[in-house]
């Protein structure tokens, strides 16, 4: 099974580099720019590892780490901390608070990927390299943008919501009703046909970016599934 990783990092350039390095190793990477978003993601989804920056626009990674270690569901989540070069105090605090590993910026993406793999192995995951086809979508929920293999997808607001929903429940079939609620809310003008039409344009955009793969499958009478 593909290991799922949450990256909490407010620097978009670093986030892109990290995501790219990890995607090559077959990991699924979700990205948050804010502590607030990461907290929501961690509460609603399963992750195998968290890469956590210390200095964030709406708080400290160290505070989030403390919270995670105090909650039963995330007490054992492997965490790799990232921090500004030379911030010795962060390193010490991070490790004291229960970070599993630590990297100071600037770091090489290969070094990070190696550490992540070591942590996953320690946590009982097989080699992520042996996992299925590497498929990486990077969902920037704050900016409402999704990238496929490092390339930002030109999505409308509805398409973003649809794909983001499919992505969060990757591998599961989502009924048209559920997708309708996720992307259109209470807009009663929308119908199942609306979902079908948007899935069609979404598929075309994904195909343009990656012609070799079909990411969204149709399950007759049931709905749609994002295959990873």
Q: Give the residues lining the site for Ca ion (CB under 5 A).
A: 10, 53, 55
End-to-end Cα spacing for the chain = 10
Nearer to Ca ion, 37 or 53 (CB): 53
Nearer to Ca ion, 55 or 98 (CB): 55
- Could you tell me if 180 and 190 are in contact, meaning their C-beta atoms sit under 8 angstroms apart? yes
214 Cβ contact partners less than 8 Å away, ≥ 6 residues apart: 203, 207, 227
- DSSP, collapsed to helix, strand or coil, labels residue 13 as helix
CB of 7 to Ca ion, least distance (A): 12
Nearer to Ca ion, 59 or 152 (CB): 59
CB of 85 to Ca ion, least distance (A): 12
The 3-state DSSP composition of the chain as helix, strand, coil percent (nearest 5) reads 45, 20, 35
Which DSSP letter does residue 45 get?
S
Nearer to Ca ion, 55 or 134 (CB): 55
CB of 53 to Ca ion, least distance (A): 4
CB of 6 to Ca ion, least distance (A): 15
Q: Which residues on adjacent β-strands are paired with residue 211?
A: none
């Amino acid at each position: 099974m593909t290991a799922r990783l949450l990256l909490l990092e407010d620097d978009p350039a670093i986030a892109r580099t990290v995501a790219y390095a990890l995607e090559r190793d077959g990991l699924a990477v979700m990205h948050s720019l804010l502590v607030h978003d990461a907290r929501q993601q961690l509460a609603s989804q399963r992750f195998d590892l968290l890469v956590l920056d210390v200095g964030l626009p709406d708080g400290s990674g160290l505070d989030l780490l403390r919270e995670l270690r105090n909650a039963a569901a995330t007490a054992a989540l492997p965490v790799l901390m990232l921090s500004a070069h030379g911030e010795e105090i962060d390193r010490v605090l991070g490790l004291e608070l229960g970070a599993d590993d630590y990297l100071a910026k600037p770091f090489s993406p290969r070094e990070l990927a190696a550490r992540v793999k070591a942590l996953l192995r320690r946590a009982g995951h097989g080699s992520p390299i042996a996992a299925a086809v590497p498929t990486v979508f990077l969902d920037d929920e704050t900016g409402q943008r999704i990238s496929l293999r490092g390339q930002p997808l030109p999505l409308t607001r509805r398409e973003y919501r649809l794909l983001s929903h499919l992505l969060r429940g990757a591998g599961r079939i989502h009924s048209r009703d559920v997708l309708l609620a996720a992307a259109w809310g209470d807009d009663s003008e929308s119908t199942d046909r609306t979902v079908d039409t948007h899935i069609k344009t979404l598929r075309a955009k994904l195909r343009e970016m990656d012609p070799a793969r079909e990411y969204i499958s149709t399950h007759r009478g049931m709905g749609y599934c994002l295959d990873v």
